[in-house]
Amino acid sequence: MSRVGAIDLVRALTMVLMIFVNDLWSLKGIPAWLEHVEGGVDGMGLADTVFPAFLFIVGLSLPFAVSSRQARGDSPLSQILHVLSRSVALLVMGVFLVNGETLHDATGVPRLVWNVLSCICFILIWNSYPKSMNLWLQRGLKALGAAVLLVMAYRYRGGDGTETFAPQWWGILGLIGWAYLAAGLVTVLAQGRLIVLSLAWLAFAGLSVAWAAGKVPGVLHIIPEAIIGGTLTALVLGGAVIGRMFQLWQPKNDNLRMTLAFAAIAVALVALGFYTRQFWGISKLSATPAWLFLCSAMTLTAFVVLYWIGDVAKQGKWFGFVKPAGTDTLLCYLMPYFLYAAMVYSTLQLPELLTTGGPGLIKSLLLALICVWIAGGLSKLGVKLKL
């Protein structure tokens, strides 16, 4: 099956939105519905829908990735090892960035420098170097990145200056890593069987309900919450189920029937969302079942709409300006760390107009697009993060 443009499109737009909402902290006088809803409050803003959308898209890509590796002759064991290596990479990145949030002066470097150093090391370690590049140079750059990270972890002090380097809550990338690990292993072991993927989604959606109800036995709490809590892994598996259904139906070229089926699933998810809302509310911070179901429905709807625009109507060129965010997604995610540091150390002070209301929102959107364009330029120069 040829590459599905809608997956890249929805991934690209989600990444642009992620950078945009992550910059809203710098603004004032903006609509509350754009921002995160506080913990304990029943509701969600635009910012609360972006992370689950990204998890769903991670799952959407999984069946295609597994099929591609199978076509290359990779064994199930090789595929499992690939899932493990990608998960470890995401966990490492997440932990280093989350530790930067509680950095103490005793570490010896400010937070902005810590973040930039971390991102540079990530690129050195996981860059997809050109085949023409000397192999020993590649290994040397990877080793340098790993060595610097080890030194940083050793020197790290957080909190009041006595806390050492620790996973904390794993960070956004780390949470993605855990959810991807569980869903990725299930997808590999399912070997294309839709029923297995569907049952796995039901199991993790059930775990989400059990976790919200406080019914998960305490002995299981040693498992990372991104897995045992059910919600985050169910988001990824929901995407995997839809991705596999798409693989099975799209070659039949019956787009209308497939769209109606996906619409029915979206309606069912919305119904589940509002039904479970009465028990545990809608909350990103608590990762409630309603948040799982409603965000899955919204992302599925976005995927279907973009499929009709990009793949059926062949109008994907409308979104060409954000294309790098769909193909160099991780690199895009790291770009704001560099831009924030550059702005601070260049003593660039934005006028109040650009941090307030509508003009401020335009500024945040431009920041997101600049990150996309820089990542696209770096990719053309050979900087391609590949886990």
| Structure confidence by residue, pLDDT tens digits, 111-160 | 999 999 999 999 999 999 999 999 999 999 999 999 999 999 999 999 99
In a domain, residue 127? The reply is no
Angstrom distance (rounded) from CA 161 to CA 167: 16
Identify the pLDDT of residue 318: 86
Print the domain residue range for 349.
Answer: 5-102+168-380
Identify the pLDDT of residue 251: 86
In a domain, residue 108? The reply is no
Which DSSP state fits 385?
A: B
Could you read off the pLDDT of 45-56 as tens digits, one per residue?
A: 999 999 999 999
Angstrom distance (rounded) from CA 262 to CA 254: 13
In a domain, residue 125? The reply is no
Q: Provide the domain count of the chain.
A: 1
Averages of pLDDT over each 10 residues, the chain, 387 residues: 85 98 96 94 97 98 96 95 98 98 96 98 97 95 98 97 96 98 98 98 99 97 98 99 96 92 98 98 98 99 97 90 94 98 91 95 97 96 92
Angstrom distance (rounded) from CA 384 to CA 387: 10
Identify the pLDDT of residue 63: 97
Identify the pLDDT of residue 365: 97
Angstrom distance (rounded) from CA 363 to CA 340: 13
In a domain, residue 24? The reply is yes
Identify the pLDDT of residue 1: 61
In a domain, residue 173? The reply is yes
pTM of full prediction above 0.85: yes
Identify the pLDDT of residue 387: 86
Angstrom distance (rounded) from CA 373 to CA 177: 26
Residues contacting 173, CB < 8 A, separation 6+: 90, 91, 93, 94, 97, 333
Identify the pLDDT of residue 79: 97
- Give the residue carrying structure tokens 């005793």: 106
Beta bridge partners of 28: 356
Structural contact between residues 28 and 355, judged by C-beta atoms closer than 8 angstroms: yes
In a domain, residue 110? The reply is no
In a domain, residue 181? The reply is yes
In a domain, residue 231? The reply is yes
